[in-house]
Structure 1
Amino acid sequence: MNRRGRVLWSAGALVALGAGGVAAVGFGGGTPSPATAANLPPATAKVASTTLTSTERVTGTLGHGPATPTPPGGAGTVTWLPAPGSVVGRGQPVYRVDDRPVPLLFGATPAYRALTSGVTGADVRQLEENLQTLGYGGFTVDTSFTAGTATAVREWQEALGVAETGTVQATDVVVAPGDIRVAELKAQPGAKAAGAVLTYTGTTKVVTVPLEVGKQHLVAPGVPATVALPGGKPVQGEVESVGTVATTEPIQQGAGPKTTVDVVISVADQASLGDLDSAPVDVLLVSGRKDGVLAVPVGALVSMGEGRYGVQVVESGTTRQVQVETGLFADGQVEVGGAGIAEGVEVGVPR
């Protein structure tokens, strides 16, 4: 094969190389090959110092995140339920049992015991913080349930229209980190409240990605992600949380089982999500990033045989072939290095 044949642009092979991974492949030092003007490439590009970012495309769902069931509502009968999609704020009823409102309180500690005079603990502070925010006082916000706390509880119970006992039972309230959005009704009016009455989510829209466990290395809280909404509109977000419980999907025809964890991606600019409440979306996760590297278009790589690659350096109307070491492939660019490779060097590319 003549010299011109040896420098033909192997576009198909190079695309396959770029798609196959991002690990650096070493080819050793380059040996210049003199050439004539007859071998000039159809077009040229300059070696540039740049930042390369490689991404992984995954699919997710725009919604309000995983739903949480309410704890059992006790032995009474459900007498009222909110509509799915309703938003419930602090102090407002999540549902009614025996025509008694079960209000929402904010906090991280679930209601698990009766709170009454003499009890101490973090859940007491949580109750007192809620009472204070709702406008009740006469006590010190601390971990002790005092007579002043009991008086405030009775005043609160009077406003709710329930028995003024001064004690808060575990089934008297629902505790969540903030406002909740009703997701699904698990009971109907007239049913016993012994199990979960409904499920709820947060009120902020997020994207949930069932990520294959083999790709967990791509994500961590704070990692940036780009969400492509229906129609292709890009929205910037970041990884909020990575699930710790893996789920294995059933085996489907032609495919083996897939084990995933839920990754939640938050979007700060909620207005950018428009009126969509739920939609399938594509998500771009950053799988690799290098700053200040030398790069050329992937099409500039020339096969030198035996798994080696080079570039055709163009100087003063002639060319010479220089072997290069390749690194990260991203966005049609490839990281290159080697003797004679520097920022501004002109290399041949296909037109």
Structure 2
Amino acid sequence: MRRALTAVVVLAAGGAASAFLVNRGDTSQAADQAAVALPVNTTKVTQQTLKDTETADGELGFGTTSAAVNRAAGTITAVPDSGQELKRGETVYSVDNKPTTLLYGALPAYRRLLDGSEGQDVLQLEQNLSAMGYTGFTVDDEYTDATAEAVEEWQEDLGLDETGVVELGSVLFAPGHIRVDSVAAQEGSPLGPNQNVLTYTGTTKAVTVQLDAADQRLAKPKSKVDITLPDGKVVPGRVEKVSTVIIPAESQDKDPETKVEVIVAVDDQKAVAAWGLASVDVTFTASERKNVLTVPVAALVALREGGFGLEVTDGTASSYLPVKTGLFANGQVEVSGAGIKAGTVVGIPK
């Protein structure tokens, strides 16, 4: 009986690796001769943290861009400058000399607020009034007479008619400070309802990455990433927001593309302060296995009876031991099995 050593290709985790197909149960003379033949190339089993990483292109900027939309017809009488930063209580723009004021809140303004109104937007309004120093009301989700009185005081300070009613379009709710990204409207121009006045972002630097839909596994909320800046410096970041976006087709004979947009927060703002808009590399970690035994993928041997093994040698003889494989990453593979430990010498087939 003869045993043939046949080279095969093993596909694993998107990478190709060479391995030998062997029959550990063959007891022929040829098999005995092959068993005593020592591997020419060897390596050692190592214990390490194995990471499945992937790097994508990113753009350093200010994160998600939002639009400020006019809600009532009129004439634009004041707009900010691009790049200008605005805080709570400041005027974003004015229509017919009536300001739209920036307030903080996650829920966009969608209705007029007056005595008797209830809801999250009322709570946001009252939280802002309180933060700006107005008192005499309970901060809750109910718009009462006391709330209306505080609104009248606020309107008086703004030089507006003291109606006690917050009209739709008179406030812009945003999560926090904003930075004006671009201005679409010009002072003195007429503007109808539902027209864009300007776009804005947050004021902290962030990185935007657009991944292919097939790579969505990389974008795990709150997961840590590494950001490589144009000068080669690497700073840490974390996935803050993940959303699906549709990229319009460039021509009629092409289909729209579906992308996964990832906003990466940068905790160390000083590290990126010197950069305005810049192209960066973002390295995502899809999987991580700590303190596991690993070998090069090329060391794997495909066993005739199924599964994988390693050719283990002590320098005088070698034998094949079956192993269980785990994570494949960066040319390494996680292995485990009887007789396999850190420092074990294994062969690498030619």
Q: Distance in 1 between matches of 2:158 and 2:166?
A: 13
Q: Distance in 2 between matches of 1:127 and 1:341?
A: 65
Cα distance change of structure 1 residues 248 and 149 upon mapping to structure 2, 3 Å threshold: closer
Partner in structure 1 of residue 45 of structure 2:
47
Bigger CA drift: 255-264 or 74-83?
Answer: 255-264
| Residues 192-216 of structure 1: per-residue CA shift (max 9 Å, x gap) | 2321211111112222221211222
Does residue 259 (structure 1) correspond to residue 258 (structure 2)? The answer is yes
Partner in structure 1 of residue 238 of structure 2:
238
Does residue 176 (structure 1) correspond to residue 174 (structure 2)? The answer is yes
What's the Cα RMSD here? Answer: 3.7
Q: Which runs of 5+ in 1 are unaligned?
A: none
Partner in structure 1 of residue 146 of structure 2:
148
1:70 match: secondary structure = strand
Bigger CA drift: 340-349 or 179-188?
Answer: 340-349
Partner in structure 2 of residue 280 of structure 1:
279
One of 105, 108, 117 as aligned partner of 1:107: 105
Letter of the aligned partner of 2:294 in structure 1? A
Partners of 2:23 and 2:304 within 8 A in 1: no
Cα distance change of structure 1 residues 116 and 200 upon mapping to structure 2, 3 Å threshold: same
Partner in structure 1 of residue 203 of structure 2:
203
Partner in structure 2 of residue 82 of structure 1:
80
| Residues 142-164 of structure 1: per-residue CA shift (max 9 Å, x gap) | 23323322222222122222222
1:200 match: secondary structure = strand
Does residue 221 (structure 1) correspond to residue 188 (structure 2)? The answer is no
CA shift for structure 1 position 96:
1.9
Task: Return the structure number with greater relative CO, CA threshold 8 A, min gap 6.
Answer: 1
CA shift for structure 1 position 34:
3.7
Alignment of 1:57-96 (within 5 A): 57-96=55-94
Cα distance change of structure 1 residues 46 and 30 upon mapping to structure 2, 3 Å threshold: farther
Partner in structure 2 of residue 20 of structure 1:
15
Q: Distance in 1 between matches of 2:105 and 2:238?
A: 25
| Residues 130-189 of structure 1: per-residue CA shift (max 9 Å, x gap) | 111101112222233233222222221222222222221111111111111111111111
Q: Distance in 1 between matches of 2:82 and 2:154?
A: 27
Partner in structure 1 of residue 268 of structure 2:
269
Does residue 134 (structure 1) correspond to residue 132 (structure 2)? The answer is yes
Partner in structure 1 of residue 332 of structure 2:
333
Partner in structure 2 of residue 117 of structure 1:
115
Q: Distance in 1 between matches of 2:210 and 2:40?
A: 46
CA shift for structure 1 position 280:
1.9
TM-score normalised by length of structure 1: 0.81
Identity %: 43
1:170 match: secondary structure = coil
TM-score normalised by length of structure 2: 0.81
Partner in structure 1 of residue 160 of structure 2:
162
Partners of 1:89 and 1:179 within 8 A in 2: yes
| Residues 307-346 of structure 1: per-residue CA shift (max 9 Å, x gap) | 9865443314554555655442223422234554223212
Partners of 2:301 and 2:309 within 8 A in 1: yes
Partner in structure 1 of residue 313 of structure 2:
314
1:329 match: secondary structure = strand
Cα distance change of structure 1 residues 215 and 141 upon mapping to structure 2, 3 Å threshold: same
Partners of 1:34 and 1:320 within 8 A in 2: yes
Letter of the aligned partner of 1:202 in structure 2? G
